[in-house]
Chains A and B, each alone.
Chain A
Amino acid sequence: MTAGSGQHFATLRLDDVTRRFAGKDALTGLTLTIRRGEFIALLGPSGCGKSTALNCLAGLLPLSGGSIWQDDRRLDTLPPERRGFGMVFQSYALFPHLSVRRNVAFGLQMRRLPRAEVRRRTDEAIRLVRLEEHAAKLPGQLSGGQQQRVAIARAVVLEPSLVLMDEPLSNLDAKLRLEMRTEIRRLHQSLGLTTVYVTHDQEEALSMADRLVVLRDGRVQQTGTPEELHTRPANRHVADFMGYRNLLPMRVGRVSGDAVTVQGAGITLSGTAVGTLSTGDEVVAAVRPEDLTVGDGGVPVTVEVVEYQGREVAVEARTDDGRRLHLRAADRPAPGDKITVVADPARVLVFPL
């Protein structure tokens, strides 16, 4: 630990953090404890409050309510420059008039470190993101991916107690995004930096984070590991976000323990209840496309659209009542084909409305 960097902590606690804009709640009662070294993803659609949460953490937005604690030290009353967090912005926010080297050195210079140390640590950070050849260039002369790496180097060179990332990959093309995802994860593992990562991309969040916080309309919907969120979404909104593309409004038929039968629009499905349900309740049955397969004795559907996806094909089909279903098939049905689809009851989640 170098003198002058942010102090490292055991836990960082957000306690009932709330932020209102012009009377409207952008973020309501966010309570979260971040352990040292954790990689947390704040996940949600645009306008869900995830960037607000990040800016509140960084000190760029004052809180309307609640508090932020780093162990026993209250943080939310400190200005951003005194929190000692590193931040990577969606637009990278590189200083356009400073070379890569001076961008990276900026934070170290602000901490008034000795010249030799600034130089050593700047070199190290530039090497870490493999930009040695570009150190003398201005940001405008770099590609998007390179700019992204400068932004990361600039944030991590301070060995901050917490790194905040605001959709850092959203401006990159698909291939680069995958590469940078691995790179960020690699950096996180090798430096052990506690990270809060904001994204709207569930795949990105699932693949990178130790723990996810799903937000919607400023409220936490669910907090958990990628596995927990993937297999046990807490409500239909989380399910929707976690890739349960088939969300069918239905009515509960039989209930026995977790096992329920639901009916609607001429279909009957067996599924697993999430929460307590009783016969006659209006519910939503959620199934991932990959858990709906072609099989005998299932729901009869007519194939409408077939998309080639490598190992399998994605099929959009319609039930006799006109409901759209998304599924995967190993062999390639033709549009207009009549098939029947089945789903494992354990993979059909039934949520109350």
Chain B
Amino acid sequence: MTRTALRHRLAERGVDRHLLLLLPALVAVLVLFVYPFAYGVGLSFQPREGGALGAYREFFTDAYQRATLWTTMRLALPAALLNVAASVPIAYRMRGRFRGKRVLTTVLVVPITLGTVLTAEGLLNFLGPTGWFNRVLMSAGLTDAPVRLTNNYWGVFLSLVITGFPFAFLLILSYLSGIDPTLERAAATLGAGWWQRFRRITLPLLAPGLATTFCLTFVLAFSVFPSAVLVGDPAGETRVISIAAYHAAYEVYDYALAGAIAVIMGIAELVVVAAVLGLRSLLYTGSTGGKG
């Protein structure tokens, strides 16, 4: 049998031999991701005491541990929502072509490159009790005592917005440019003002993209760790779930509990993502007429 014949016979069954080139990557994923993941899940079911579900029971019966779930949600959900909500009008204004678009996009996206530690340091300097922000407020006589915006909830929240916004903005900008601009022009000739054009045409076509963007920024914010420590209050208000996991693993050396917390973290994220994607499936998700 010739080589071509084999290829054609495989093609008939929907097998593309070139897919075999994916094998090395697949091995890497298995070794570096699937195995440690399965190992961690396995560990979570082998606590020192309390049976297979002991670690989970420990997490949920301890109010201090249990509260981390709510603390993280309280940070990640509003931050993701704000990132999406703030990106929409900005991206909407920037959807066309105009002079300086590239510069403006770069300015908006640069925080991605900063990393959380640098962002946290900047926040501390700028928004801290003796930072510029408070000094301006106080010298203007707007407040007597510095406004506390760091080492608490707001510090972490702001850090999540600074690092999450560029992602949301870039994604939404690309979703928007995938919508054929002629549609809005058509709506205009049919008598729709700018708000109706946005609400009736652009927003429904953009909504699935917003849902996806929300999921991604939410997951990003949910795993917040460095900024929760650096600009937050890691023992109190911003003791997020990743801190609990870190504490269990590297300070108490209770790998079962750490594994259980990680699994709970994943499930919590999945629940939110599934809920959002469930709502998304109710929307129109077909072609948006643009070039993508």
Interface residue from B186, B191, B192 paired with A89 (Cβ < 8 Å): B186
The answer to whether B23 has its CB under 8 Å from any CB of chain A is: no
The answer to whether residues A110 and B190 also contact, given A93-B183, A96-B205 and a CB cut-off of 8 A, is: yes
Interface residue from A97, A107, A140 paired with B191 (Cβ < 8 Å): A107
B284, A87: Cβ atoms closer than 8 Å: no
Q: Give a binary string over B255-292; 1 marks a CB under 8 Å from any A CB, 0 the rest.
A: 00000000000000000000000000000101111000
The answer to whether A85 has its CB under 8 Å from any CB of chain B is: yes
The answer to whether B188 has its CB under 8 Å from any CB of chain A is: yes
A106, B187: Cβ atoms closer than 8 Å: yes
The answer to whether A295 has its CB under 8 Å from any CB of chain B is: no
Question: For residue A60, which residue of chain B has the nearest CB?
Answer: B185
Q: Give a binary string over B176-192; 1 marks a CB under 8 Å from any A CB, 0 the rest.
A: 00001011011111111
Interface residue from B183, B188, B204 paired with A81 (Cβ < 8 Å): B188
The answer to whether B196 has its CB under 8 Å from any CB of chain A is: yes
Interface positions, chain A 137-173, Cβ under 8 Å from B, are 138, 140, 154-155, 158, 164
A91, B190: Cβ atoms closer than 8 Å: no
The answer to whether A111 has its CB under 8 Å from any CB of chain B is: yes
The answer to whether residues A111 and B180 also contact, given A96-B205, A96-B286, A140-B287 and a CB cut-off of 8 A, is: no
The answer to whether B200 has its CB under 8 Å from any CB of chain A is: yes
CA distance A58 to B182 in the complex (A): 13
Listed residue (B189, B200, B286) with the most chain A CB atoms within 10 angstroms of its CB: B189
B189, A87: Cβ atoms closer than 8 Å: yes
Question: For residue A141, which residue of chain B has the nearest CB?
Answer: B286
B185, A93: Cβ atoms closer than 8 Å: yes
Range of interface residues on chain A? 20 to 34
Q: Which residues of B contact A164 (CB under 8 A)?
A: 189
Interface positions, chain A 22-72, Cβ under 8 Å from B, are 58-60
A97 CB, min distance to chain B CBs, angstroms: 4
A97, B205: Cβ atoms closer than 8 Å: yes
The answer to whether A333 has its CB under 8 Å from any CB of chain B is: no
Interface residue from A96, A106, A107 paired with B284 (Cβ < 8 Å): A96
Interface positions, chain A 82-114, Cβ under 8 Å from B, are 82-87, 89, 91, 93-97, 106-107, 110-111
CA distance A111 to B182 in the complex (A): 20
B204, A158: Cβ atoms closer than 8 Å: no
B182, A96: Cβ atoms closer than 8 Å: no
The answer to whether A249 has its CB under 8 Å from any CB of chain B is: no
CA distance A79 to B180 in the complex (A): 20
CA distance A96 to B288 in the complex (A): 6
B101 CB, min distance to chain A CBs, angstroms: 16
B180, A81: Cβ atoms closer than 8 Å: no
Q: Which residues of A contact B196 (CB under 8 A)?
A: 110
B191, A110: Cβ atoms closer than 8 Å: yes
| Number of A-B contacts defined by CB within 8 Å | 74
The answer to whether residues A95 and B189 also contact, given A89-B182, A140-B287 and a CB cut-off of 8 A, is: no
A91, B182: Cβ atoms closer than 8 Å: yes
B190, A97: Cβ atoms closer than 8 Å: no
A85, B188: Cβ atoms closer than 8 Å: no
CA distance A81 to B284 in the complex (A): 26
The answer to whether A192 has its CB under 8 Å from any CB of chain B is: no
The answer to whether A264 has its CB under 8 Å from any CB of chain B is: no
B191, A111: Cβ atoms closer than 8 Å: yes
A96 CB, min distance to chain B CBs, angstroms: 5
A95 CB, min distance to chain B CBs, angstroms: 6
A331 CB, min distance to chain B CBs, angstroms: 51
Interface residue from B186, B192, B193 paired with A93 (Cβ < 8 Å): B186
Q: Give a binary string over B188-208; 1 marks a CB under 8 Å from any A CB, 0 the rest.
A: 111111001000110011000
B286, A138: Cβ atoms closer than 8 Å: yes
Q: Which residues of B contact A82 (CB under 8 A)?
A: 191
Q: Give a binary string over A304-333; 1 marks a CB under 8 Å from any B CB, 0 the rest.
A: 000000000000000000000000000000
The answer to whether residues A97 and B189 also contact, given A91-B180, A110-B196, A140-B286 and a CB cut-off of 8 A, is: no
B205, A93: Cβ atoms closer than 8 Å: no
Interface positions, chain B 14-60, Cβ under 8 Å from A, are none
CA distance A85 to B191 in the complex (A): 9
CA distance A58 to B200 in the complex (A): 21
B286, A93: Cβ atoms closer than 8 Å: no
Q: Give a binary string over B97-115; 1 marks a CB under 8 Å from any A CB, 0 the rest.
A: 0000000000000000000
Question: For residue A90, which residue of chain B has the nearest CB?
Answer: B182
A167 CB, min distance to chain B CBs, angstroms: 13
The answer to whether A298 has its CB under 8 Å from any CB of chain B is: no
Question: For residue B289, which residue of chain A has the nearest CB?
Answer: A96
Interface positions, chain A 173-227, Cβ under 8 Å from B, are none
CA distance A86 to B289 in the complex (A): 20
B205 CB, min distance to chain A CBs, angstroms: 6
The answer to whether A80 has its CB under 8 Å from any CB of chain B is: yes
Q: Which residues of A contact B289 (CB under 8 A)?
A: 91, 93, 96
CA distance A291 to B191 in the complex (A): 50
Interface residue from A60, A94, A140 paired with B189 (Cβ < 8 Å): A60
B281 CB, min distance to chain A CBs, angstroms: 14
B287, A154: Cβ atoms closer than 8 Å: no
A and B contact pairs by CB, cutoff 8 A, 11 listed: A58-B189, A59-B189, A60-B189, A82-B191, A86-B189, A96-B183, A96-B286, A96-B288, A106-B190, A106-B192, A158-B191
Q: Which residues of A contact B (CB under 8 A)?
A: 58-60, 79-87, 89, 91, 93-97, 106-107, 110-111, 138, 140, 154-155, 158, 164
